[in-house]
Amino acid sequence: MATWNSRGLRGSALEEFINQTCEQYRERNLALIQKVPTPITPVRIEKESRHITLAYFDKKSTVDYIGVVQGIPVCFDAKECHTDNFPLQNIHEHQVRFMGDFEKQDGIAFLILYFSHRDEIYYMRYEEMLKFWNRGQNGGRKHFKYEELNPKWFLTRNGNYLVPFLEGIALDLKEREEN
């Protein structure tokens, strides 16, 4: 069973940026997106601070975020990468299955990838993720390279939105209409 140690995961900057963006979208009535909590069972709690320092994951989570954008159901996972090679092991089979099922219900599933060493954010459509995933599952490379990504899906920060994923969704919808 997987364990979680709070000293190793003290909070992700990407997650915080997405949370702030989701709150701004909610305040402007553009979207309602919520962080999906990961169910854990605490094992060790510091008595004085009451902080959980060791816990077990109760079950596999689905994706990081789920919600609705102007009547369209969306779900996505946020991943951070420190190099130009993104290991596919960071995407779990149960997440791929969930996102596929979500797409079959006419929802939009995607990844937000943050290349921290470049300070760049990429919107990866489910179909693109699945292409890389299947390649790895069928004996190909177990990662994808930054150079393989389509430049039009990199998100540009504008105004106060730290992770402007609605831009990616708008482009995604346009592509779906055209195909």
The reply, when asked if residue 62 is annotated as ligand binding, is: yes
Question: 77 a known binding residue?
Answer: yes
Which tokens belong to 137? Answer: 């599952």
Q: Are 93 and 109 in contact (CB under 8 A)?
A: no
For residues 19 and 10, is the Cβ–Cβ distance under 8 A?
Answer: no
**β-strands 52-57, 3-4 pairing:** antiparallel
Return d(Cα 23, Cα 27) in angstroms, integer.
Answer: 6
- Does 95 belong to an annotated binding site? yes
The whole-angstrom separation of Cα 96 and Cα 107 is 14
Nearest to 36 by CA among 97, 78, 80, 81: 78
In contact, 122 and 172? CB cutoff 8 Å = no
Binding-site residue set for Mg(2+): 62, 64, 77, 95
Binding-site residue set: 62, 64, 77, 95
